Amino acid sequence: MPHVARFKIDAIKELFQQLRYAPRDTQLRHVAATETLVYEIDPEQNYPLDFVVFRITGYRPETTGESVTCVGGALREDLGNFIQRITWEQELTEEQRGCRALSMEDVAQRLQVSPKTVQRYRRLGLLCHYVMQEDGSKRLACFEDALEQFTKNNARQVRKAAKFSRVDHEAEAIIIEDAINLHENEKLNLNRIVGRLAHKHHRARETVRQILLRYDRSAERPIFASQQTLSQHDQRVVDRALRWGIPAARLAKRFGRTRSAIQRTGHRARRRFLQQLDLSYVDLPTFSLVDPETVILNAPIVTGDLSDVYPDNDALTLIQAQHTSSDHTEETALIGAYNLLKKRCGEAISALSEWPTAQVLDRVETDLRWSDRLKNRLVEHAIPTIVQRLDQNLHAPLITQPPGVILSLLPMAINIVSDLIETLDPGRGQHLEGVAAFELDRTLSRLSSEQPSQKAAARHVPGSLPLPAWRYALTQWSKRFNLRADLVPHLHELEETSRNMIQIRYGLAHCCPQTYRDLAQRFDLTPRGAAQQIRQITIELRRLVRDQSKS
């Protein structure tokens, strides 16, 4: 699923988790009811949660005590997010809706506003859906009837935005001339000049900033030659390139910046990613111990071998794997460490400076990588329960089902368990095996009527049931901080020292994930040298993958 905004209201997030596995027709009915509700919401009013649930589902929950209320503005944003998340899991088409689906660019053109204004409108109640395209992809779009309703409800604001005057060439030239004079006569920097001119010319600060940066990119004598900032697109390119192992010096040459400037750009991009994460955690009683990190994060099950127990790319092998019973003591230790690491990361991210150092970022990212390995182990603990409950609800072994049934039910069950881990509380006597069994039975009972009857057992061979790499979707940061799935099978082809180094870095054997500083101490390197070694090993792994694809 693409990156979407986080829910602001926990109750709406919980409602989505409850409804995301409902039958397709039920989900679409919920979407239609949610749309109707959004158009009625006053952002200045508060709305009881039981009223919201009733309007969406038709079910009035029993409540005890004081009713929970939601602020209208936050509720409207969350319901728009709710609609996007639900429709992402459906194959919604224009034909089913009965009207045209407009891209975000089409909406901007229709309303005569900028794409950024369209994004602001989405927070004000412009409802968007993920719609299936002819090529099988999904695209965020706005149906014409939803656009008409938004325009009707916000007619004054839409008309005002459409009449907003663009900066013509003459006005732009005056702004540039004023900037040159301020820079030469008063030696002001870019930000101060932008503020001064935005007030003088009655324009937005960002409008003035973009005019000056655009001029500097094409001028023979730029105003702010040493102060230009990279565009957002270029910043994303730098971030991705650095994560892929491209040297900062090479990027500096391409973008006309110093090596230090490129590194700072990468650091800020990493900081932005971290600040967008939802690091909510279960506050366990053990956190009140004296020095809980020393106690909880030093348990052998937490610091030991966290390499994968079960395969992740073949459903048949996963089902046939030798499943062992779960150990509640180990499970409790894993849950405690998982939540404590998220707590520690959240606090560290809140304390990040505007220009964080590589060492501080690496510490936070390593903790997140560690927490991801712990969650991976927790999901593996639940694999026997998943297979068992699927067998029981299907009244036949899962392995005898058609490929479509296996490849839909197994990932769905893993996602359910993954979501349950986020709220599992051993302090309340909850164990993953019992909670997962209950939730799986409840979900599968709703789906049982939709499963086709199986007249004859299907036969499968290894490799015939390719399973999506579920380990890379367990957390918001799994894909970013883990070694790429296609590189892992080639680790055995590396020289021993290189293999050990990258396995230790990513927590794939012997110990939990390690920072570059930890690696430097183990292999008698500097932290920078350790980072360079990991970069070179990753490049070698990518070469092995390319060579295999060519052969």
Measured CA to CA, the distance from residue 149 to residue 309 in angstroms comes to 52
Give the residue-averaged pLDDT of 413-421.
94
Q: What is the pLDDT of residue 494?
A: 93
Q: Are strands 101-103 and 138-143 parallel, antiparallel or unpaired?
A: antiparallel
pLDDT above 60 for 449: no
> Measuring CA to CA, which residue among 507, 510, 497, 509 is closest to residue 536?
497
Q: What is the pLDDT of residue 258?
A: 73
Helices H, strands E: what count in the chain? 26, 5
Q: What is the pLDDT of residue 229?
A: 66
pLDDT band at residue 154 using 50, 70 and 90 as cut-offs: confident
Give the residue-averaged pLDDT of 356-374.
95
Give the residue-averaged pLDDT of 359-374.
95
Measured CA to CA, the distance from residue 227 to residue 298 in angstroms comes to 47
What is the distance of C-alpha 222 from the center of its chain? 38
Q: What is the pLDDT of residue 546?
A: 87
Measured CA to CA, the distance from residue 186 to residue 208 in angstroms comes to 18
List pLDDT tens digits, range 427-444: 888 999 999 999 999 988
HSE value, Cβ hemisphere, 13 Å, CA-based, for 529: 8
pLDDT above 60 for 537: yes
Residues 122 and 108 sit within 8 Å (Cβ to Cβ):
no
Q: Which residue has the tokens 């409008």?
A: 207
pLDDT above 70 for 225: no
Q: Which residue has the tokens 């596995």?
A: 21
Q: What is the pLDDT of residue 1?
A: 57
Q: What is the 3-state secondary structure (H, E, C) of 14-27?
A: HHHHHHCCCCHHHH
Share of the chain above pLDDT 70, in %: 92
Residue 178: what are its φ and ψ, rounded to 5°?
-65, -40
Q: What is the pLDDT of residue 335?
A: 95
Q: What is the pLDDT of residue 333?
A: 93
Q: What is the pLDDT of residue 165?
A: 56
Q: What is the pLDDT of residue 434?
A: 92
pLDDT above 90 for 500: yes
Least confident of 41-50, 433-442, 497-506: 41-50
pLDDT above 80 for 234: yes
Give the residue-averaged pLDDT of 162-167.
62
Q: What is the pLDDT of residue 3?
A: 63
State the burial class of residue 234 (Cβ atoms within 10 Å of its Cβ: 0-12, 13-18, 19+): middle
Which residues does 380 contact at the CB level (< 8 Å), separation at least 6?
Answer: 308, 309, 310
Q: Where are the alpha helices (DSSP H) in 89-164?
A: 94-97, 104-111, 115-123, 144-153, 155-162
pLDDT above 80 for 162: no
Measured CA to CA, the distance from residue 95 to residue 15 in angstroms comes to 28
State the burial class of residue 430 (Cβ atoms within 10 Å of its Cβ: 0-12, 13-18, 19+): middle
Most confident of the ranges 106-120, 304-318, 495-509: 495-509
Q: What is the pLDDT of residue 62?
A: 65
DSSP-assigned states of every residue in 520-546: HHHHT--HHHHHHHHHHHHHHHHHHHH
pLDDT above 90 for 505: yes
Measured CA to CA, the distance from residue 303 to residue 504 in angstroms comes to 11
Q: What is the pLDDT of residue 431?
A: 92
Q: What is the pLDDT of residue 328?
A: 84
pLDDT band at residue 518 using 50, 70 and 90 as cut-offs: very high
Q: What is the pLDDT of residue 325?
A: 60
List pLDDT tens digits, range 249-299: 888 777 767 788 889 899 999 999 999 999 999 999 989 888 889 999 999
> Measuring CA to CA, which residue among 337, 421, 342, 330 is closest to residue 379?
421
Q: What is the pLDDT of residue 344?
A: 95
> Measuring CA to CA, which residue among 179, 232, 227 is closest to residue 205?
179
Cα end-to-end span (Å), the chain: 32
CB-CB neighbours of 540 under 10 Å: 17
Amino acid of residue 94 = E
Q: What is the mean pLDDT of the chain?
A: 85
